[in-house]
């Protein structure tokens, strides 16, 4: 049910974005008065809070600054990060790991909220996993160069604020259930090639999820996902030790 809601949320976001881009009101298969409370809230959010600052505003205020000696880590991302805490809560338990993923988001949305949801939390490390929704076109057409620029801007903002950067590869995907006409595999391979080169050039840590999770089509292996995009528990169990290793490597960097 969680996964169905996640995909529905992405689809609804796409409907909103396409209508707003055309200067039209929301158009769905049912009138506004028949939308659920959740659907209406999403509609209003797209109009008034495009980056979704509201999602973590209260949690950020309650969190406060890190304690003495705390190696706080913020995970910035989309639904793959967002769902991590739900599907695999054990990875976050008892650790100063803060999940700031938001389902359906693209890199421009993350860049806008990067200060509020990452920099202001004063972490030692940020783990950035983003780009697949840009390729899907969730907030409109995006070239690889546009995605790269946004990833670079987030990484550079973190560096300027003394935060160690872990840049993650985009997970493999052969097809998007909410946008089946898209053929993302080759674009993901190309984007990951750039992310790796950029990370090496700037002495950031590159976190490679793609290689161990890709099948012969450069899609996500069936045993790691139910929908070909979002990891299941087996998928997250592959990601967990890779993320942990990358975080420890980043903490040791001078």
Q: What integer pLDDT is reported at residue 26 of this predicted model?
A: 36
In 3D space, the residue among 204, 109, 176 whose CA is nearest the CA of residue 147 turns out to be 109
Residue 29 lies in a domain: no
Q: What integer pLDDT is reported at residue 178 of this predicted model?
A: 85
Q: What integer pLDDT is reported at residue 124 of this predicted model?
A: 98
Q: What integer pLDDT is reported at residue 193 of this predicted model?
A: 98
Q: Render pLDDT for 154-167 as a digit per residue (tens, 0 to 9).
A: 999 999 999 999 99
Angle among Cα 186, 202, 65 to the nearest 5 degrees reads 105
- What CA–CA distance (Å, rounded) separates 196 from 170? 11
Domain assignment of residue 86, given as a range: 64-252
Q: What integer pLDDT is reported at residue 166 of this predicted model?
A: 98
**Crossing angle between the packed helical segments 185-201 and 144-160, to the nearest 10 degrees:** 30
Total domains present in the chain:
1
Residue 122 lies in a domain: yes
Q: For residue 64, what is the enclosing H or E element?
A: none
pLDDT along the chain (254 residues), means of 10: 44 44 38 61 70 96 95 98 97 97 96 98 98 94 97 98 98 92 95 98 98 98 97 98 98 92
* CATH number of the structural domain spanning residue 200: 3.40.50.1110
Residue 237 lies in a domain: yes
137: left (phi over 0), alpha (psi -120 to 50) or beta: left
- What CA–CA distance (Å, rounded) separates 190 from 230? 20
Q: Copy the structure tokens of residue 76.
A: 């910035």
CA distances from 177 to 8, 41, 55, 63, 91 (A): 10, 23, 25, 35, 27
Residue 155 lies in a domain: yes
Residue 86 lies in a domain: yes
Q: What integer pLDDT is reported at residue 180 of this predicted model?
A: 86
Q: What integer pLDDT is reported at residue 71 of this predicted model?
A: 98
């Amino acid at each position: 049910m969680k996964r169905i809601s996640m995909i529905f949320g992405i689809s609804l976001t796409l409907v909103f974005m396409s209508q707003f881009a055309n200067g039209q009101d929301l158009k769905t298969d049912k009138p506004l008065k028949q939308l659920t409370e959740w659907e209406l809230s999403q509609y209003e959010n797209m109009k008034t809070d495009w980056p979704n600052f509201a999602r973590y505003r209260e949690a950020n205020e309650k969190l406060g600054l890190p304690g003495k000696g705390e190696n706080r880590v913020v995970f910035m991302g989309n639904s793959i990060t967002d769902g991590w805490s739900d599907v695999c809560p054990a990875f976050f338990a008892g650790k100063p790991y803060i999940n700031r993923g938001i389902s359906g988001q693209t890199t421009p949305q993350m860049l806008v909220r990067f200060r509020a949801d990452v920099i202001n939390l004063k972490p030692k490390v940020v783990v950035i996993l983003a780009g697949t929704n840009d390729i899907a076109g969730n907030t409109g057409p995006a070239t690889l160069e546009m995605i790269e620029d946004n990833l670079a801007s987030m990484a550079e903002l973190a560096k300027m604020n003394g935060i160690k950067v872990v840049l993650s590869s985009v997970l493999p995907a052969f097809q998007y259930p909410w946008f089946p006409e898209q053929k993302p595999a080759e674009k993901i391979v190309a984007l990951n090639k750039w992310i790796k080169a950029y990370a090496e050039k700037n002495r950031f840590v590159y976190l490679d999820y793609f290689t161990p999770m890709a099948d012969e089509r450069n899609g996500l292996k069936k045993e790691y996902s139910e929908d070909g995009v979002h990891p299941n528990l087996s998928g997250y169990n592959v990601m967990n030790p890779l993320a942990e290793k990358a975080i420890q490597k980043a903490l040791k960097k001078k």
